[in-house]
Chain A
């Protein structure tokens, strides 16, 4: 099995305890390269905890996370981003008073190399790097559907544009894996459909792998190729969207025991 195929992410026996509470319960999880995978589950199932361990915010109590062949469970967030995981946040966390371009430029931080002395002297190399970075940032903004928003302050953008900007910023980190945390929350059906198409495009055109946390089943059904369901921190089902939709345990988890009895 070559590095090109196979799994981009391999999570083994991942466990997270907060004092007495077990938030993640010995979960095994893989993400095949190039796939769009969704992580769903009722509130409190531990999806965000899982995300946070993937991105280095939380340290797992035990277990391992291997990303592209590298063990990342003991790395801080910025190092994981440098390795190739980009993310958006459930509650949008743009840099509110930076412009759209500046937000994206921050995303490029780990891909740029200008140092202190170079920045002070503004050497030709630094100037060129900055020029190219701004060009790339503008491209990403256009690509993400924000063609005329470069110089607008992030906090003053409409909600849908803010979500797109977050994605543009995450793409700026040049990721192999894109983590989207409830990206369509608060969107109307049209916006949701547009966004779903966008996610597909991003995966197809940029060769990315995508992991979504989602509550909107239309998005899950519409775009994901595999769905994993968590409940109380443990994996209770995994498979194609259709398989999962029919899984008894999943229905119970969402609707309660009564729903499965006819």
Chain B
């Protein structure tokens, strides 16, 4: 029986093979809106074909999963609070593309709305970038007390942040903090839509997705683009100097530090980058939803995203795309479709109620039987099989540490 290690005795890049497959998928993806109706007419599987707006949500979540993969898969840090980044991005859109701050009236590149509408209305394209950067800063801030801790404490503390941020946005209104930052339980709505503005109109593109005849399609194409950019950045970083540093940290932190890799800084970068993509996806999604609502942000989402990464394959971009689309599909439409079929068959069972139990089951089953995921990443497969030196270098909680140095000096 050949082990993963045997197969990977020498390193070979499968990069070229992947490019052709990717190109093909991109073509299919772009054509999807035109194909979807014929697909939905197919017998048997037609009911399971996701709608275009369903796909938008799926793509947004898959983008977040790719972001989480940078933290969990590349750097090997168990982040259970990713929903905080999602929320930060969504509310940034809420601040810079809505009437939330109606004390001011400022427009810059806004589309589809009257220029006299109160509030800050920046071009949503710009807001996506701002959201990413703001969330990146949030990621760095969360990382400061968190990344010095060993793996399991890091998980719990990120979980806590993943709880606190949603609680915060729910309470951060006039009554809670004396200033209406997030409009409390009501959330911020409406949020401006993406669009190509008057310039686009002249080119035959919709001025605002909201008012176009095919809102879902335009959001969908943007989602595909965002996912592509995220995947591109992710792959480039994986194969870079920083990516090597992450692998070194995964395999032996102590040796990595001795070889000149700054542990805290390198881990913080993984957080920051994961946060960036989470923020962009969050802002995009809230523009699509035309609102940022506290009910959309809760701890379970972090685990949902983790499940995507585990199911697909930690560290494996293709895997996470597959796992992400699959699970997001279940969440958005799949489970309810299956539920309807089950009802039709006479059984009174609603799988959507137990969806998080299902995700939990998937996580446990994968970890026990196929921890490398549906599309394993070569190096992770070997690491899981043969083990790594995963004694943390810094471990503030016990006396028996490898170093007595404080991680904040790092």
Contacts and interface: CB of A to CB of B under 8 A. Distances in A.
Interface of A: 55-59, 74-79, 81-82, 87, 89, 93-99, 102, 105-107, 109-112, 114, 116, 119-122, 126, 130, 151-153, 155-156, 169-170, 172-173
A87 B259 CA distance: 8
Nearest to A89: B255
Contact of A119 (B11, B240, B248, B261): B240
Nearest to A83: B260
Contact of A173 (B241, B245, B260): B260
Interface of B: 5, 8-11, 232-233, 236-237, 240-245, 247-248, 251-252, 254-263, 269, 273, 379, 382-383, 386, 388-389, 402-405, 409-410
A90 to B, nearest CB: 12
B233 A155 contact: no
Q: Is the interface of B mostly helix, strand, loop or mixed?
A: helix
Nearest to B399: A19
Contact of B386 (A74, A89, A109, A155): A155
A109 B252 contact: no
B263 A112 contact: no
A58 B405 contact: yes
B10 A81 contact: no
Contact of A78 (B10, B379, B410): B410
A169 B260 CA distance: 11
Nearest to B12: A151
B388 A96 contact: yes
A105 B248 CA distance: 10
B410 A95 contact: no
B257 A119 contact: no
Contacts of A170: 259
Contacts of B8: 97, 153
Given A57-B405, A153-B8, A94 B258 contact: no
Contacts of A96: 251-252, 386, 388-389
A116 B410 contact: no
Contacts of A173: 259-260
Contact of A98 (B236, B248, B254, B262): B248
Sorted from nearest, which 5 A-B pairs have the closest CB atoms?
Answer: A110-B260, A119-B240, A81-B260, A93-B255, A77-B257
